[in-house]
Structure 1
């Protein structure tokens, strides 16, 4: 059983009272604030056999990074970034399979200069990038102009992070492997778009995330194989408190 540490007793747990069930409007220093449907969690079309996530009740938020929940088998700490990442990945995969629109047009194009090797890499991946929701064009002086992005990114993107993402998606090791590339690309887009640690969530947002995580096909791992949650069984907790 995992040992419970009290080294960081000051992190605090946000209690799950209904008074806090409104929509978050504070920024917390993130690229965009949360608002209605802020988690970009919609219906998950095509999900016919969701994973067997137990029925969980939200207790609160730990260190603005983990959702504390309880179920019939004990306590579950849910990594909010990993959980959101899994939800967004399956949402994009389902949309692509259904040939549903996944792009969001930008009001103002995002532009930045490219190194010569980046120009060549983007040209090689242009059709693949467009397939997953990007609309982009290489202008004079090796300037990349992006006019649309996958819709899950719309609230999280800035020029620097978008440049980093494009560079990763067009890295040489992914040339010539379209299926593997798409899996890698969607996983990285989901990772960029997902909320991060140290981000306050309201009770209603936490409940929504747990509900939608339960509708995914693989609720216990993120896109990169990390666990979305850690389980502390009742028997393990009883041992920690000397009850067994």
Structure 2
């Protein structure tokens, strides 16, 4: 795999084909889990593990899976990997596991996971498929992390609530005054929809600005060949 190919896969997953801002997939965890930054990031990390492993496994087995039953087999492989991640979280981060609850097993039903293994892993080599799944997950991670951070800050005036469940001894940041009354709409699903719409609009604005700058940039002047001196007689 070349560096240009890796850069293209990373750019598609993180920005150009971002699962939340472009494809609008995975709305269930986006609405329910992103009440704070930590929950959104940790669920995204679990999704990254599942997507990268499922991409590599399905890509390696794609020539052995009959086309007619590929979808049930894909779901079976993804479900097995999700079960492993679910048990891992339960064993190592039990208190956080109780907070995330059913949303770790629900990774199986995330449209993003099945869409990527069907659209990419079933047609490409294992290494590229693993990187595609990982970078698609990274795109989900920064989107859910940013959305969760904004909802937490606006709704409660804090940041990194629940970090003690991941790293014992750390505490959240109280960024707004302690008597901040909070803004309930931000931590409810309608608030997530509103903030997600703002993020989609911001992404479209950034891309429109970049396209406008590209159009206004004059093309490079053609190179003028150096004059040749007449040969000495």
Q: Give TM class, smaller chain.
A: under 0.3
* Between structures 1 and 2, the one with greater helix share: 2
| TM-score using structure 1 length | 0.25
* Between structures 1 and 2, the one with greater strand share: 1
Bigger Cα Rg: 2
| TM-score using structure 2 length | 0.26
